[in-house]
Amino acid sequence: MYIKSAGVCIRVSANEEVIESIRSSIFIFQYIPDVQLLDKCNEDKANLTIIDSSVHEFVFKNDRYVLKISEPEKRCRDIITIIEYILERLRQRIGIYCLHGSAISFGDKGVWLWGPISGLGKTSIAIGLCQEYGFKLIGDEKILINSNGHLIGGIKHISYNKKSLEKSISQNLNEKNETELSKVIKLETNKVKLSFAILPIASYLAEYIEKEKWDSNKSAFHFYEELSRKIRGVSRRIIDFTTPIESLDENKISVTRSLFANKIAESVPFCIISGNIGKIKTEISHMVM
């Protein structure tokens, strides 16, 4: 089978049981942005072979990868994790990067809500702005940005189990696919320029709101760090979260990524907005609209 994301493609070879477990997995649509499952692909740039083995090993040379893993048909999430790492390497080679967080748009302006941990209010604020202020959802959890600074898509599948999200989102969006989601909120289908990068720290009990704008050096430092997480294998482990994955980064890619981080930091305002979640949504709407 072939798995495609944002113009790059990987050929996956395994036994039929493993292939079927990947095809039928909801997780692949929750974890890989802009994903397509194909029988043929003229753009395949990498090959992944999955082998059932009691010794776990992930090895690669050039763009030929081998994953040895026990009972692979039962470790679908681990396999999809590896596939996404390989796809990120291929995407970064053509100047497309994966960001963690939520992204929304209003007109021609894109807003990236980010933060290193869950529970900061990223999804709540993004969905709230869509429901209450007419913003469009670009994606949640994983967002794609190209070398021109355009947000070009993301995962349009809302999945949550937090009580805070149930309280803050006026309609139940949990586990809705893209088609179902489009009936409830507006989805962005065009590429939109990144105009604001906001790290929210939201609280339902707070009455205040505080805003801190970063200088370009601090912005570039954190943005480069965020751009590097996926390709360096630091954001997820396999085998029940016990086994780290070797970095897939390359010097040429990292230099290009560094220049891109500096360019974005010079042109896009980065800030922290903390306090009452309702006031944060209002503040963002005033900044963007």
262 vs 222, 224, 265, CA distance in Å? 10, 8, 5
Whole-structure pTM over 0.85, yes or no? yes
How many domains would you assign to the chain?
Answer: 2
Residue range 116-168, pLDDT digits in tens: 888 889 988 999 999 999 999 999 999 999 999 999 999 987 765 555 555 55
Residue range 241-288, pLDDT digits in tens: 899 999 999 999 999 999 999 999 999 999 999 999 999 999 999 999
* Domain-located, residue 247: no
Residue range 82-96, pLDDT digits in tens: 999 999 999 999 999
The residue count for the chain = 289
Domain shared by 177 and 274, yes or no: yes
Domain shared by 104 and 88, yes or no: no
Tokens 């065009």 sit on residue: 190
Residue 114 · residue 275 · CB < 8 Å: no
3-state DSSP call for residue 157?
coil
The whole domain housing 79 covers 2-94
Domain shared by 136 and 151, yes or no: yes
CB-based burial label for 238 (10 Å; 0-12, 13-18, 19+) = buried
pLDDT at 136: 97
